[in-house]
């Protein structure tokens, strides 16, 4: 999802603030809104997500009483292993989301309960927005479960361990199922054509 935080912030004439803290106090959000940018090295993000570049994210925050609306978007690089051939794969991720924060007490309000069913509503106990945690969760959602170096990756040869389709590997030819041996000799002798029906 592209929330296009930057162009919206620009259209609203909101100044950009570099934020070095991981959490923002809700009372810090001025009536006209707030634009933040955070930039973190991979080591600053909890858990081993396989980040290969710094994470950069932009936030647009508005406060209406106790309710805070947050839009954010960002980019990062990821280094993962192909699930078939184990080769390293560099991915470039773009993430983004919008979340409405409500105080936890609002959770019991039946009118608010409807909203809680919607995606993108979170409840806060402490009046703060967990900027970095939001980014981390968004990246986690995008880390592929079974990454592939190419969609057609054939994986590794189970005999010699070479990457199939790239390195020369004769294991498969040399290792034919004995039940097919007779058929293969027919093919080789020309008695049988591979395309005959
Ligand atoms: Zn692969
Ligand atoms: Zn092989």
d(CA 197, CA 195): 6
E strand or H helix at 78: strand 67-81
pLDDT, residue 197, reads 44
Dihedral over alpha carbons 188, 192, 193, 196 (to 10 degrees): -160
Each domain of the chain, given as residue ranges in start order, spans 5-142, 158-197
Give 87 Cα–ligand 1 centroid separation in angstroms: 6
- How much is the pTM? 0.76
Q: To the nearest whole number, what is the mean pLDDT of the chain?
A: 85
For residue 162, the CA-to-ligand 1 centroid distance in Å is 11
**Distance from Cα 155 to the centre of ligand 1, integer Å:** 6
pLDDT band (50, 70, 90) for residue 1? very low
Instruction: Give the integer Cα–Cα distance in Å for 135 and 58.
Output: 10
Tokens at residue 16, please? 């950009």
Instruction: Give distance in angstroms: CA of 85 to centre of ligand 2.
Output: 13
Q: Which helix (H) or strand (E) holds 31?
A: none
**Portion of the chain with pLDDT greater than 90, in percent:** 55
Q: What is the mean pLDDT of residues 23-27?
A: 95
Q: Higher pLDDT residue, 61 or 119?
A: 61
- Cα 162 to ligand 2 centre (Å): 6
Confidence of residue 48 (pLDDT cuts 50, 70, 90): confident
- Distance between Cα 151 and ligand 1 center (Å): 8
């Amino acid at each position: 999802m592209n929330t296009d935080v930057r162009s919206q912030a620009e259209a609203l004439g909101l100044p950009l603030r570099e934020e070095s803290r991981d959490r923002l106090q809700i009372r810090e959000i001025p009536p006209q809104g707030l634009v933040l940018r955070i930039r973190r090295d991979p080591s600053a993000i909890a858990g081993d997500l396989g980040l290969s570049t710094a994470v950069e994210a932009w936030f647009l925050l508005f406060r209406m009483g106790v309710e805070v609306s947050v839009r954010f978007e960002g980019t990062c690089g990821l280094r993962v292993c192909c699930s078939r051939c184990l080769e390293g794969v560099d991915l470039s991720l773009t993430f983004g989301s919008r979340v409405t924060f409500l105080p936890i007490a609002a959770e019991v309000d039946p009118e608010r309960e409807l909203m809680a069913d919607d995606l993108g509503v979170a409840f806060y106990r402490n009046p703060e927005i967990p900027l970095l945690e939001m980014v981390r969760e968004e990246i986690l959602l995008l880390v592929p479960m079974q990454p592939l170096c190419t969609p057609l990756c054939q994986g590794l040869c189970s005999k010699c361990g070479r990457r199939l389709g790239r390195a020369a590997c004769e294991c498969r030819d040399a290792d034919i199922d004995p039940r097919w041996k007779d058929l293969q000799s027919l093919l080789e002798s020309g008695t049988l054509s591979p395309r005959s029906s």
